[in-house]
Amino acid sequence: MDRRSYLALLLASTTAGCSLWGGDGVATETPTQPRNPVDDLVAGHVVAVGADLVTTTIATDGTETPVQDALNAISESGGRVYLPPGRVEERGPVRPHPNTGIYGFGMNVSVLHIISPNTDGIRFDREERANRVQLDGFELRGPGPNTASGIAIHFLDNGAEPVTDPADFYVGRLYCWAWTNSVYRVDQGVGPFQCRHDFLRMDDCDAGDANALVEWRSSYGPANVFGSIVAYPTAEWSGTDSSLLYQRGGELAIGDVTSGGSVGRLVDTARGRLHLGRLHYEPDDQQATPGSIARIGAGGATRFDDVVHDAGRVEYVYELAEGAGNALLLGPPGGRGTIGENVVNVSGSLDGERCSFYFGPTDDVDVTATSNTGNLRVLGEAGEGLG
């Protein structure tokens, strides 16, 4: 099968039930010289397909913003922008319109490369609510591991009245590479909701001076789901380990986290709701020993179903900090990593009205706080076995 036939087959599979061409089977933007969108993709151009099935080809050698130009072409109807195999350079940031999507031919096949320093990749700041935006099947590349970057995916307060929070954002399989900042950030004042992320991978990224690779700074944002998050950060830019998740509000459910490279603390959460399935911690280039894999602060509700500490050293697996409450912690952890002190550290005064639970023995818990350390229930010997 030649390259053109292969691309035609893949493109057809992503547009099941519709045609990329008008009623006569040809691209509609150049009626005197009919164009086949597959030929344009083979040539390395970007193709936009509107909901009205009108196609527009953006030649990548004719603009510094081919992806944004393609999105603008379907801004009224909605539709899909297709990246060709290979690398597309964009000076960015890319600002999606509602009901639009960016699709590639695979995470290691299509590359959207933001080449400008200090520039976001995908930026949500339009006054109109950016509902139902989709990203799938490509690499979102930053300017490089030794260049100051913006944020790969950035939600900002657009200042609109009333608030126009984006909803139903969808990530299929997205690979983020070479960002020297947060990779995913939700700023205060904006609360994405009902967003789903099936697979998000971050390699050779360095959070630098940011709080974490994934930052949820906003105090709100319900019903957001991440399936799998994979992170192998580097310390080349900042010289420090990158934390994975910093949460200060919102409702997040994460299925699995796999981490390696120069990763530090995996979770720092407070004032939000977090349900995390499995944390797999396996750093191989630690710059320092973190105080814990997961730190739980005041005002939130957290649940950890499983932690596997397979490499590297940490002082504790869990830390219950000042004001922590309503936490459910599975234990003891699995894995072959080194724990310097113990599994759980009660480092601050706990919430006096909300109990937390650790499913492990009492000997796993250290209390380094000096007051009001109650409301942690250790359940390693709770109940009576049967049989």
* Residue whose C-alpha is closest to residue 152's, from 168, 140, 165: 140
pLDDT at position 64 is 97
pLDDT at position 88 is 98
Spell out the alpha helix ranges (H) of the chain. Answer: 3-14, 37-42, 66-73
147 HSE (CA, 13 A, CB side)? 17
The structure tokens 């869990």 sit at 318
Burial (CB count within 10 angstroms: exposed 0-12, middle 13-18, buried 19+), residue 1: exposed
pTM for the model: 0.91
pLDDT along the chain (387 residues), means of 10: 52 46 37 72 97 95 96 97 98 96 97 98 91 97 96 92 87 98 97 97 95 97 98 97 98 98 98 98 97 98 98 98 96 94 96 94 93 84 70
Tokens of 88: 């597309």
CA 144 to chain centre: 19
The structure tokens 């196609």 sit at 55
- β-bridge pairing 313-320 and 338-346: parallel
Q: Which domains does the chain have, with CATH numbers?
A: 47-378 (2.160.20)
Q: Is the peptide bond before 166 cis (omega within 30 degrees of 0)?
A: no
pLDDT at position 16 is 42
pLDDT at position 271 is 97
pLDDT at position 128 is 85
Tokens of 67: 């992806």
